[in-house]
Amino acid sequence: MAQQETDQQLNDGFVVDTEDCEERERAYRERGTSRPITVVGNPVLHKECKDVTEFGDELARLIDDMFASQRTAEGVGLAANQIGVDLKVFVYDCMDDEGVRHVGVVCNPVLEELAPEQRVLDDSNEGCLSVPGAYASLPRPDYAVVRGQDAKGNPIKVRGTGYFARCLQHETDHLYGYLYIDRLSKRDRKDALRQMAEGTPRYPVVPND
């Protein structure tokens, strides 16, 4: 989800994340090492992460590992705390509802507040690599704008519609200590945890002690 370069293309102030997706994702992934996924109950998932303040080689290696881990788990988005790292950064490799692929990385993301006329709710199913095998309907706005920084520390904005909007909101939530099941009713949350308990993860996970 190639590093954002300092001269990254912008469109109306927004990052162009739809070009050369295959090549950029492959470059990240092939440099990285896949790590196991943390699951609900792991403390790193249930607190706000630290801001990214150093935009150097260590962050670049983390981003590479995140893309590798995301591909192993067959996800469309991954936050750093999902591989046990307490930093505000997420990657994504996600299609929108028009079938357009988006690939990128956001550090220190903040969701913009939407005007009332932009808050059209979509109650599609949602899942999470940190709640493996579980899905539940969750209303979220079908449009999202995230402000943050790229891997070099430059300010960026990312926007998405439909499924990609859901991804941007979901991953930003992670970095502030929220899982999607935290936004469900008690009954639906219990059902999601039951689904998880009854299944077997298809990718390596970190067991909770």
Residue ranges at the known binding site for Fe cation: 128, 170, 174
Q: What is the torsional sign of CA 97, 166, 69, 56?
A: positive
CA 36, 41, 46: angle at the middle one, nearest 5? 95
Please tell me the chain's helix, strand, coil percentages from 3-state DSSP, rounded to the nearest 5: 35, 25, 40
Q: Which two tokens stand for residue 140?
A: 């979220």
110 contacts: CB under 8 Å, gap ≥ 6: 146, 147, 148, 172
35 contacts: CB under 8 Å, gap ≥ 6: 65, 68, 69, 83, 84
Catalytically active residues, by annotation: 171
From residue 7, alpha-carbon distances to 55, 70, 158 in Å are 15, 26, 16
